[in-house]
A = this chain, B = another copy of it.
Amino acid sequence: MNELSLHFWMAPAGGVTALVFAWVFYKQMCAASEGTPVMREIAAHVATGAMAYLRQQYRVMALVFIVLAVLFAILALVFELQSAWLPVAFPVWGFFSALAGYFGMKTATAASARTAQAASESLSSGLTVAFRSGAVMGLVVVGLGLLNIVLWFILLLVFTGGGGEGGQLVLITTTLLTFAMGASLQALFARVGGGIFTKAADVGADLVGKVEAGIPEDDPRNPATIADNVGDNVGDVAGMGADLYESYCGSILAAAALGAAAFLGQPALQMQAVVLPMAIAGLGIFFSIAGVYFVRTREGADQRELLHSLARGINLSALLIIAGSAALIHSMGLPNAWGLWGAVVVGLVVGILIGQSTEYFTSASYRPTREIARQAQTGPATVIIAGTAVGMFSTLFPVILVVVGTKLAYSLASGFDASQVSHGLYGIGIAAVGMLSTLGITLASDAYGPIADNAGGNAEMSGLGPEVRKRTDALDSLGNTTAATGKGFAIGSAALTALALIASYIEVIRMAMMRRGDTLLADGTEVAEASLMQFMAHFEVNLLNPTVLMGVFLGSVTAFIFCGLTVSAVGTAAGRMVDEVRRQFREIPGILEGKATPDYARCVAISTAGAQREMLLPAGLAVGIPLLVGLVLGVPGTIGLLVGALTTGFSLAIFLSNSGGAWDNAKKYIEEGHFGGKGSEAHKAAVIGDTVGDPFKDTSGPSLNILIKLMSMVAIVTAGLTLVLTLL
């Protein structure tokens, strides 16, 4: 077994600390009062609904995992195309991700009534309860994620040998990478299923409740209102958490694999290069926790001040990591330490800037969203056209940020030496890790959103006074902003992670070739020692190879088809919800007079069933396409596919998320009294825009994050199969 440096232990230490503080925050939250019996009852409805959803989803998932584990076992044991660890390891990885989702949801649903109650005391108390409950999710994700990585890394170090000189670490890290497929699959279910659930409930509740029956949002007379609140937790807590759990693990492991490849033949350095991403992640946990303690506000704070107090925590964490990682990297003895540190900083900065670009294009404080609101005066058509244009424009800055960030990280890590390709790619991996190093606190601010939203819903339904409602509205409104920037951050990190995964794909191919006994490339170089560029030449992965071009075309269209499927999934599932709500209004007498309680659970069950059914096709596409393309078009077609899906999917995701976010806020801007205010023709037009934007921003857009990562992951896992069975 190789010697593990002291730096390595930063990772398990960070992981354990994260879980400890998650426990502390959870206990603090539980100790807070849950308010009146009505408040408790409503919260219980939501909590029960959310758990019912999770149970159903985990049941379906368990089935899928068992089937796949058997398949992988056959591939590994019969055909020897796969590490024999995989069938055991990958369900464990899925389990850990699901566990994080479970804890996060449990905390979030328990926190809503307590946040409303705390807000009835003071704004600052409300913020603290909601934010620290969000932090439970953030810390559980990073804690379980990092501990899981550390555990398996040690396990493989102990039990794996071979792979030639220095090859052992390449073998271990690429094997670890395939395990993350478990987290990817779980993310697919959580994000796509959650996205369909939440919008089916939301659109269904709005179409019948608001539009047909004319009752307000979050009205307890609406049978779908609990499902709507459950949806916020399911989509934005569990879905977002699983999404970023995957990015977090994927980026750390891809960076480790790229590090092992970059320092092949330099054993001491190689181990440090593999350890670095884990150590940065561990460091990030400590500083994220420090940041959480800096989030507080004073009574009567306005929107700007609230936002400022959140930003203070996140920025503090980022600054601490910038300083801390400089010390960390220098102490590790890696060459070009400043270059690697530069990559960390680039990642952090790109993440923050993408969030700010998202805010600019979706917040009513800026021109684009206000322009959409203005266009509402000439009707729904101009609202939709304007929002589409804004969404399309908004792709520019994130793409430029990713492009410039990638190039910069690459150049810094390679010391501006064009021949150091693999060091450059390692830099891209490190940048992704840097971006995600503050995940403990950034995810806290994401999970905060639905908690505040639900607290508002709870206050509304349980009839708390206007002073309290004003405070929960302020907290909720802040949540909308953090949700928007959180989405920008999620897609940005997904893009960097996917890039790192694509880059490490060739290392996996190298291992697969060695496993099946290939020793030489076409040009006579040894497989074990060939450079990346030699692999590229061997497989002709250039852009005039029609197979590569086919791959890029297919990747690009996969993103569109996946979106089409998820958009129409929401339509179908929402249609069922509409039927059910209409049925309850018709068949249960006294609902609309508030004399009878609607059957909330049935609406939750319908949304749950709809989500599970409707996600099958998009999920099958995400898993099936890379497998199929790998088998038909081989390595060059697969790389083309992944690049096409990544580039188109990234722009498409930002387009959909931002146009949806902008429509949402344009509606709210009008509701604040602009262009005729609530009830005006402009408002009606804006509501239509908002409804169109719902599946865009909460289902299709975020689901694309998963698509671009999962496709790379499937390609990585099926690399052995691809090599053996390529048709064309």
Contact assessment for B691 and A381 in the assembled complex, using a CB-CB cutoff below 8 Å: yes
**CB of A209 within 8 Å of the partner chain:** no
- 4 smallest CB-CB distances across A and B, nearest first, come from A392-B564, A381-B691, A389-B568, A536-B542
**CB of A557 within 8 Å of the partner chain:** yes
Contact assessment for A557 and B503 in the assembled complex, using a CB-CB cutoff below 8 Å: no
Contact assessment for B644 and A389 in the assembled complex, using a CB-CB cutoff below 8 Å: no
A407 — which chain B residues lie within 8 A by C-beta? Answer: 546-547, 550, 728
Contact assessment for A385 and B570 in the assembled complex, using a CB-CB cutoff below 8 Å: yes
A211 — which chain B residues lie within 8 A by C-beta? Answer: 379
Contact assessment for A692 and B392 in the assembled complex, using a CB-CB cutoff below 8 Å: no
A490 CB to nearest chain B CB (Å):
18
With known contacts A384-B692, A647-B644, A648-B647, A393–B506 Cβ distance under 8 A:
no
What 0/1 readout, one digit per residue, does chain A (399-442) give for beta carbons within 8 Å of chain B?
Answer: 11011001100100000000001001100100000000000000
With known contacts A393-B561, A688-B381, A543–B541 Cβ distance under 8 A:
yes
A20 CB to nearest chain B CB (Å):
40
Contact assessment for A542 and B544 in the assembled complex, using a CB-CB cutoff below 8 Å: no
Contact assessment for B557 and A396 in the assembled complex, using a CB-CB cutoff below 8 Å: yes
With known contacts A384-B384, A536-B544, A546-B428, A379–B552 Cβ distance under 8 A:
no
Query: What are 7 A-B pairs at a CB distance below 8 A?
Result: A378-B578, A425-B544, A506-B544, A541-B543, A544-B639, A555-B647, A648-B651
What 0/1 readout, one digit per residue, does chain A (687-719) give for beta carbons within 8 Å of chain B?
Answer: 010011001000000000000000000000000
**CB of A346 within 8 Å of the partner chain:** no
What 0/1 readout, one digit per residue, does chain A (668-695) give for beta carbons within 8 Å of chain B?
Answer: 0000000000000000000010011001
Residue of B nearest to A655 (CB): B560
A559 to B402 alpha-carbon distance, docked (Å): 17
Which chain A residues have a beta carbon within 8 Å of chain B's beta carbons?
Answer: 207, 211, 375, 378-382, 384-386, 388-393, 395-396, 399-400, 402-403, 406-407, 410, 421, 424-425, 428, 499, 502-503, 506, 532-533, 536-537, 540-550, 552-557, 559-561, 563-565, 567-568, 570-571, 578, 639-640, 643-644, 647-648, 650-652, 655, 688, 691-692, 695, 728
Residue of B nearest to A574 (CB): B382
Contact assessment for A553 and B384 in the assembled complex, using a CB-CB cutoff below 8 Å: no
Contact assessment for A499 and B410 in the assembled complex, using a CB-CB cutoff below 8 Å: no
With known contacts A392-B567, A396-B561, A553-B650, A543–B543 Cβ distance under 8 A:
yes
A728 — which chain B residues lie within 8 A by C-beta? Answer: 407
A565 to B394 alpha-carbon distance, docked (Å): 11
Contact assessment for A688 and B380 in the assembled complex, using a CB-CB cutoff below 8 Å: yes
A442 to B91 alpha-carbon distance, docked (Å): 56
Residue of B nearest to A425 (CB): B544
Contact assessment for A571 and B403 in the assembled complex, using a CB-CB cutoff below 8 Å: no
Residue of B nearest to A410 (CB): B546
A704 to B544 alpha-carbon distance, docked (Å): 22
A555 to B502 alpha-carbon distance, docked (Å): 19
With known contacts A384-B384, A389-B568, A399-B557, A647–B552 Cβ distance under 8 A:
yes
A302 to B5 alpha-carbon distance, docked (Å): 82
A380 — which chain B residues lie within 8 A by C-beta? Answer: 380, 688
A81 CB to nearest chain B CB (Å):
23
The 8 Å CB contact of A561, one of B381, B392, B570, B647, is B392
A542 — which chain B residues lie within 8 A by C-beta? Answer: 533, 536-537, 541-543
Contact assessment for B385 and A567 in the assembled complex, using a CB-CB cutoff below 8 Å: yes
A279 CB to nearest chain B CB (Å):
25
A381 to B555 alpha-carbon distance, docked (Å): 29
Contact assessment for A207 and B378 in the assembled complex, using a CB-CB cutoff below 8 Å: yes
11 further A-B contacts with Cβ under 8 Å, apart from A388-B567, A392-B560, A536-B544, are A207-B379, A380-B688, A381-B688, A390-B564, A399-B557, A403-B550, A536-B542, A552-B643, A557-B651, A560-B651, A644-B647
With known contacts A211-B379, A648-B556, A532–B550 Cβ distance under 8 A:
no
With known contacts A553-B403, A554-B399, A389–B561 Cβ distance under 8 A:
no
A382 to B536 alpha-carbon distance, docked (Å): 47
A149 to B559 alpha-carbon distance, docked (Å): 39
With known contacts A544-B541, A648-B648, A564–B695 Cβ distance under 8 A:
no
With known contacts A541-B544, A544-B532, A647-B644, A688–B379 Cβ distance under 8 A:
yes
A431 to B8 alpha-carbon distance, docked (Å): 58
A548 to B395 alpha-carbon distance, docked (Å): 19
Contact assessment for B546 and A399 in the assembled complex, using a CB-CB cutoff below 8 Å: no
A544 — which chain B residues lie within 8 A by C-beta? Answer: 421, 425, 502-503, 506, 532, 536, 541, 639
Residue of B nearest to A696 (CB): B388
A691 CB to nearest chain B CB (Å):
4
A642 to B655 alpha-carbon distance, docked (Å): 21
A506 to B542 alpha-carbon distance, docked (Å): 13
A555 — which chain B residues lie within 8 A by C-beta? Answer: 647
Contact assessment for B692 and A381 in the assembled complex, using a CB-CB cutoff below 8 Å: yes
Residue of B nearest to A394 (CB): B564
A536 to B640 alpha-carbon distance, docked (Å): 15
A379 to B499 alpha-carbon distance, docked (Å): 41
Q: Which of A399, A552, A553, A570 has the most CB of B within 10 A?
A: A553
The 8 Å CB contact of A567, one of B389, B557, B561, B567, is B389
